[in-house]
Amino acid sequence: MAEVIVRGVLSPSVQRACAGYAQTAEAAKKPAESPSSVLDMSYAKFSQEDLTDTDRGHAAKYLDGNDEEHRCKDCGHYPSFYGLVVRSISPSSAEFHSDRGKAAIDKEITDLRKEGTWDESSVAEWSKVRQIRHNGFTPMSGLLFIIMGQKNSELVGTVPDSECPFRARGVFQGSNIRTGDGTPPWMLYQEVGATPSSMASAHCALGIGALKGSTFSTRDAEKAYIQSDIDKPGRPRTWIRLPKFLWPKSWFEKDGTPKYYDPVCILRKALYGHPESGPMWDKKMHKVMKDCEFIPVGGGSPGVFYNPHYGAEMVVYVDDFILIAPEHLHAKIWASLDRHIKFKDPGAPVTRFLGVQHDIIHSKDGMCSMTTEGKEYLQSAVKEYMQEIGVSSLPWAVSYTHLTLPTTPYV
């Protein structure tokens, strides 16, 4: 891969200052004693308040060729992707209402009901339960809605359809939560935010594991968030509204007329979309990792854990787990996690993580190499763009090995 060297990278505010400085003829002849007095930002609709004195000074030095203070910045690699995961399917699209879409919705709702995510037997009119306090708190209510996407959509046409499935997800509308007495819902939240691991953290952990001779395997937690309870002692009660097409038969009269005007039922599990669901899962996951003798690495690497007893690492991105450990310990470590977390499948080699392909090769001489790429996703995005603008080809853009200081701030 070609090395990319970027020299003299400027912040957007400094670039704006350069643009304004270049508009002044006087500035092109000699350095201004007071850059702020010659900057003309009217053409760009920026006021002088948009710039700091430091920005103006850097702009003057930049355009006058006095840029010694800008150190060379060697990136060493192309920027990595955070994740190329799923293609969204709009609720108004034909795909959403197709047989595949309906099947995905049916599977999701069936699974959520099977796990007891909400209690349909607790159905009541919101007008009657909104005044009932639980554990000393006013109740909250929100709507269930459906989102849908296609996993591995960039591989469509190159692999069987079963490897590019439609996935529906029942989501709690956390942006429109109502409380019984009008209290702002954020005043009732008890859990704080959570930060998952990043692609960079995962690659660092994989690199460290490779240096130690470890091997790698991965597993997905089954509907991670709803593995945590939201209706438990000491917490406010949350009621959920089901869209009418998801009402159970028991909510209708024999002639098909509805029994309720605004029915709600108790939300038992931490459903996706609720502002506290992510932190609840994160809290449970940290407890599980501690029980399994893993400790957080910390130091700017959230979601990365280390087991000093086994010399193993674990990377967790929400429901995606990567185990980095000596090969003979993988089964034992996964078994310890199975006691606390429900996983979809047994451990498997790391191939696709957050939608990016990972090719990891262990050679006989002990060397380990890893190549990552997401070309299928990019090719799919370009193909869709070409279809939208109605062209069959695009001009080829030359890739330069080195990027040097531009002659204007617009390059």
pLDDT in tens, 194-248: 777 788 888 888 888 888 888 889 999 999 999 999 999 999 999 999 999 999 9
Average predicted confidence (pLDDT) for the chain: 78
Same domain? 215 vs 183: yes
Verify that 146 and 251 share a domain, yes or no.
Answer: yes
For residue range 174-191, list pLDDT tens digits in order. Answer: 999 999 999 999 888 887
Q: Of the given ranges (117-126, 128-137, 226-235, 401-410), which has the lowest mean pLDDT?
A: 401-410
User: What is the predicted pLDDT for the residue at 303?
Assistant: 87
User: Domain check: are 263 and 186 in the same one?
Assistant: yes
Residues 385 and 351 in one domain: no
Cα gap 41→52, rounded to integer Å: 13
User: For 131-159, what is the mean pLDDT?
Assistant: 87
Residues 189 and 129 in one domain: yes
User: What is the distance of C-alpha 347 from the center of its chain?
Assistant: 23
pLDDT at 23 > cutoff 70: no
- Please check the confidence at residue 42 and state whether its pLDDT lies above 60: no
Q: Is residue 127 located within the same domain as residue 156?
A: yes
Position 94 scores a pLDDT of 93
Q: CB–CB of 38/27 below 8 Å?
A: yes
Q: How many residues does the chain have?
A: 411
Q: What is the pTM of this model?
A: 0.66
Is pLDDT above 60 for 2? no
Please tell me the distance from the alpha carbon of residue 225 to that of residue 234, in angstroms, as a whole number.
Answer: 19
Are 390 and 272 members of one domain? no
Q: Mean pLDDT over residues 339-364, rounded? A: 84
Residue 17, domain extent: 1-81+378-411
Number of Cβ atoms within 10 Å of the Cβ of 153? 22
The total number of structural domains that make up the chain: 2
The whole-angstrom separation of Cα 118 and Cα 242 is 10
pLDDT band for position 93 (cuts 50, 70, 90): very high
Both 22 and 56 in one domain: the answer is yes
- What integer is the mean pLDDT of 90-114? 93
DSSP assignment string, 200-223: HHHHHHHHHHHHHT-EEEEEEBTT
| Run of H or E residues at 339 | none
Per-residue pLDDT at 3: 31
Most confident listed range (68-82, 141-155, 261-275, 389-403):
261-275
Q: For position 51, what pLDDT does the model report?
A: 53
Which pLDDT score is estimated for 54? 59
Measure the CA–CA gap between 277 and 172, rounded to whole angstroms.
Answer: 10
Mutual angle of helices 12-22 and 53-63, in 10-degree steps = 60
Per-residue pLDDT, 61 = 56
3-state secondary structure of 197: coil
Residues 149 and 31 occupy one common structural domain: no
Q: How confident is the model at residue 41 (pLDDT cuts 50, 70, 90)?
A: very low
Same domain, 100 and 125: yes
For position 59, what pLDDT does the model report?
Answer: 52
Model pLDDT, residue 345: 87
Rounded-to-integer distance, Cα 329 and Cα 212, Å: 14
pLDDT at 407: 56
My answer on whether 93 and 130 are in the same domain is yes
Average pLDDT for 395-407: 57
- Rg, Å, the chain Cα set: 28
Residues 74 and 181 in one domain: no
Residue 125 pLDDT more than 90?
Answer: yes
Confidence label for 404 from pLDDT (cuts 50, 70 and 90)? low
User: What's the rounded mean pLDDT across residues 66-85?
Assistant: 47
Cβ-based burial of 197 (10 A; exposed 0-12, middle 13-18, buried ≥19): buried
Helices (H) and strands (E) in the chain, counts: 9, 17
